[in-house]
Structure 1
């Protein structure tokens, strides 16, 4: 094990910069699913039990370096306090955090992506963050692959460890990839290839089967020649997608892309959709969007799952936050 956990750290009297993922779904100003908040509770509790002060660093949405009031983490405060069973203080600006002594108890820094230095992985910005703490603890596994200031750089500037959620994920990954029971497969989904290029390139060499879903699959389908209307994809990464497919083919990793999809003209709960076959010849109209893998694609994925001895899963197969575009993800997960 090449990483440290909370058990390896002396935290008494220390300020612990805790990177978390609380990018939760919100509707009408209320958190509709607190799962991500609940999953960081053990780490917060352990830091407090060891005499440390948790200073939470998190992002919410994609403000792109601008202060966007609708993306304030204040919307999470009530749920955080309910989950932790104690008050949480929101510090609204980095300047306010730097100006004097931070409040006692659990502290939440405002949306870290309000700062351009975060996603740019700016060294001076990372140094400002590091000055607020004594120890860095990363419990945001879902954001750990991003080379941002609050992930990559802080880990280099402060004594660092994994939180309980990160620890569990790393332990499972080590078991799955170091000496996996074969055949081994992975699901890599989500919105963008750009956020998971390194993950894809790393996994291809270790897998027998790679299932690509979500908006990422659209980029691969587009790279193959499909015209996908208004579907989310990254056209500037078509060459990268083709390279990944070639690499997979050369080493015998079977890549599964959706053979059909739920196509709608509205990204909304309860929206009407039609099932459309997906391949290099697919031609969707402007306004049409692939929002989920279809029934045939799901059946193919489930069939592949049944032949696997080890499965790693990272990201959904569609817009799983809203019905009816959660169907492929849920059906595959239950298989």
Structure 2
């Protein structure tokens, strides 16, 4: 149950509404948006506001500029893409705040108009949550709507600072994200299985330990598994490994036993003599990993065992690839696991940048119950943390 007020719980009719969106989208060398998913996800909230004849003031970050203007990070491509998707003009400013912008919004905007401020991270006050900067942003509108779940774990001026100056409510995307992820933690249909991959154990430490108190089975793949294998005494060759996490890996194996969670690790892996797309490939058991080769992903038998476990699930959470899926030659684990989860009758929730890239690569975008737009935010939520962007909003 979502406990915060949403845009549907307050009167926005004819009001000027400041909307924090997550338009941190990839651009090509020509400055064109190459994946507009995040912009599309904001449309339900924007269309609701348009239906209520609101004036919409959009703000977002893009990339990682160093607290100053960098032309390659301007939001102009995102504004153009939104125009195409929403079918109406979007006036884009080349500054974040000025008296001219304030006057334009107050005197020249009409109901149903949309304007977009420049990249928030061009101002050092954004990441530092400087009160004066938040106050300037808030002075542009009557109401604040946060629809940027992907940035909800950041205590930035546009996310928590503005909420001190304006009535602050959730957008429809933020609500949907919190409800989908909250359901996993609070009331999952069982068996509940989590499939975690990716290269680093350290990125998933808190998620693994929190999920081990929630799930029935935890399936691990990708680069992080070599740390677990080395901790158990296996030769892992030149595979990626975090030696400072070996004890943690053993602790998690013990916690799984204590909590009666079925923790599944690879029984075989794909290896190569070098990290390269066309490298020689072998499928070997854990006792046969050559000392001068490196792991490239879960093996054929592991993939089969994982698919059998996935078939039993009623709820599945997946974050992180099972192998070096960027190289087609080594991508079979990720591809087969993705298809198994997509084809399941279970409630399926997926998240994380690499995971989204994988499901896009295999044409599976619309095959899951919920695809989370927030990588870091969804991970912190599943760690059990209170996200600043959510706690800053008004309670129902």
User: Which residue of structure 2 aligns with residue 209 of structure 1?
Assistant: 217
2:310 to 305, 312, 316: 305
What's the TM-score, normalizing by structure 1? 0.72
User: Which residue of structure 1 aligns with residue 15 of structure 2?
Assistant: 14
Which fold has the larger relative contact order, with Cα–Cα distance below 8 Å and residues 6 or more apart in sequence? Answer: 2
Maintained 8 Å contact 1:126/1:153: yes
Unaligned runs of 5+ in 2: 341-396
The residue matched to 1:142 in structure 2 has which SS? Answer: helix
1:238-266 CA distance string (max 9 Å, x none): 88878767655653445556664687756
Quote the offset at 1:203 in angstroms. Answer: 3.7
Maintained 8 Å contact 1:219/1:241: no
Distance 1:87 1:207, change over 3 A: same
Quote the offset at 1:150 in angstroms. Answer: 3.0
User: Which residue of structure 1 aligns with residue 142 of structure 2?
Assistant: 134
Unaligned runs of 5+ in 1: none
Maintained 8 Å contact 2:271/2:284: no
More strand by share: 1
Quote the offset at 1:82 in angstroms. Answer: 0.5
Larger radius of gyration: 2
More divergent stretch after superposition (149-158 vs 240-249): 240-249
1:203-259 CA distance string (max 9 Å, x none): 4432233455677x389669959989797x999888887876765565344555666
How many residue pairs get aligned? The number is 327
1:288-329 CA distance string (max 9 Å, x none): 896x76656544543332222112345655777886787655
What's the TM-score, normalizing by structure 2? 0.63
Quote the offset at 1:84 in angstroms. Answer: 0.9
Maintained 8 Å contact 2:219/2:306: yes
**Any residues of structure 2 matched to 1:228-243 within 5 Å, and which?**
none
User: Which residue of structure 2 aligns with residue 37 of structure 1?
Assistant: 39
Maintained 8 Å contact 1:117/1:125: yes
More divergent stretch after superposition (35-44 vs 302-311): 302-311
User: Which residue of structure 1 aligns with residue 48 of structure 2?
Assistant: 46
Quote the offset at 1:39 in angstroms. Answer: 1.9
Quote the offset at 1:3 in angstroms. Answer: 1.7
User: Which residue of structure 2 aligns with residue 3 of structure 1?
Assistant: 4
More divergent stretch after superposition (148-157 vs 14-23): 148-157
Maintained 8 Å contact 1:13/1:51: yes
Distance 2:211 2:8 in 1: 29
Quote the offset at 1:25 in angstroms. Answer: 3.0
User: Which residue of structure 2 aligns with residue 272 of structure 1?
Assistant: 278
Maintained 8 Å contact 2:323/2:330: yes
